[in-house]
Amino acid sequence: MDKSDALARRLMAVFLAAILLFVLPLNAADLQAQAAQNYARYIALTQAQVDAELAQSGSCLWVERLPESRRTEALAQLRSGGVVIEKLETLDDGKPIAVPGGLIHHWIGTAFVPGATLAQTLAFMQDYNHKVEYFKPDIVRSKILKHEGDDYFVLLRFYQKKIITTVIDTDQEVHYHVVDKTHAWSRSSATRVQEVDNPGKSDERLEPEGHDRGFVWKLNTFWRFEEKDGGTYLECQAISLSRDIPTGLGWMVGSFVSSVPRESLTFTLTTARAALAKKTVASN
């Protein structure tokens, strides 16, 4: 077999892996009770870790806790307009947390918006009624359902197209806390996650929670904001739960699965940076 045949076979394998990834989940899957409980444990441990970090003095940013060589590189990347993304995993007494029939996706990312103040950043983040204007096509519907002080209850509908189209409807509880004039944080939890069947059509309907194609079953985020260096840093930990890949296919499609949550966080930070920078320039 010559090199061209070997390359053709490898390309065909990648193509089949992509098809299998998005065809196999077309049938409904059930979110197991144990998976939901273990995910809740994962979130509780992550929140405790986040709270401990926020209670420490000094900078609260993840990038500034990196080893020196990596920190220098990351900060330079942020100052040049890029975003820094990395995969995380919260352990339970040093051991991974298994979720039967599911996968936990945990990513952290940071962006820097030159010229933006903390107040401008928070105003932008809390403008949920206009998220669709800033984050389309990933967000196709956004609305504040209830707002009391630092607490928001919002509806966000997400759209994603990668071989097939997926639309996810969510209700989310979001809490903000301003630490001081240069530091703040927020955290959100999706209280409802439902896949939308035939979105935008007369026969549109919501699939039962936890019984759909399983692209997203749970969703949580932890944000931090810090104003310094002539702008504001935005940091986000995004954690989600999806269905697992059937046994025997992990070697072929595992890395492809992890790309979807990573790309979503990258898009969110990149888009937020650009939109906030534009609003900051317009207000000055």
The DSSP annotation for 148-173 comes to ETTEEEEEEEEEEEESEEEEEEEEEE
Those residues with Cβ within 8 angstroms of residue 256's Cβ, 6 or more apart along the chain or in another chain: 17, 18, 21
Q: Is the distance from CB of 130 to CB of 143 less than 8 angstroms?
A: no
3-state class (DSSP) for residue 261: helix
- Look at the chain and report how many structural domains it folds into: 1
Q: How would you write the pLDDT of the chain (284 residues) with one tens digit per residue?
A: 566 666 666 666 555 555 554 444 445 678 999 999 999 999 999 999 999 999 987 778 999 989 998 999 999 999 999 999 999 999 999 999 999 999 999 999 999 999 999 999 999 999 999 999 999 999 999 999 999 999 999 999 999 887 677 899 999 999 999 999 999 999 999 999 999 998 888 898 999 999 988 889 999 999 999 999 999 999 999 999 998 876 655 544 445 456 778 999 999 999 999 999 998 877 76
pLDDT of residue 46: 98
The DSSP annotation for 199-260 comes to TTSTT-EEPPTTEES-S-SEEEEEEEEEEETTEEEEEEEEEEEEEPPPTT-HHHHHHHHHHH
> Whole domain around residue 84: which residue ranges?
3-283
**For residue 49, what are its two tokens?**
């870790």
Q: Is the distance from CB of 109 to CB of 63 less than 8 angstroms?
A: no
Q: Is the distance from CB of 21 to CB of 14 less than 8 angstroms?
A: no
The domain that holds 85 is classified in CATH as 3.30.530.20
The Cα 68–Cα 58 span in angstroms is 16
Provide the pairing of β-strand 84-87 with 102-114: antiparallel
Those residues with Cβ within 8 angstroms of residue 184's Cβ, 6 or more apart along the chain or in another chain: 118, 122, 176, 177, 178, 224, 225
Residue whose pair of structure tokens reads 């519907």 in the numeric block: 141
**For residue 278, what are its two tokens?**
């534009």
* CA-to-CA dists, residue 122 to 57, 78, 119, 258, angstroms: 22, 19, 5, 29
pLDDT of residue 2: 61
pLDDT of residue 24: 47
The Cα 137–Cα 154 span in angstroms is 18
**For residue 78, what are its two tokens?**
């942020």
* CA-to-CA dists, residue 187 to 8, 23, 46, 236, angstroms: 46, 33, 12, 9
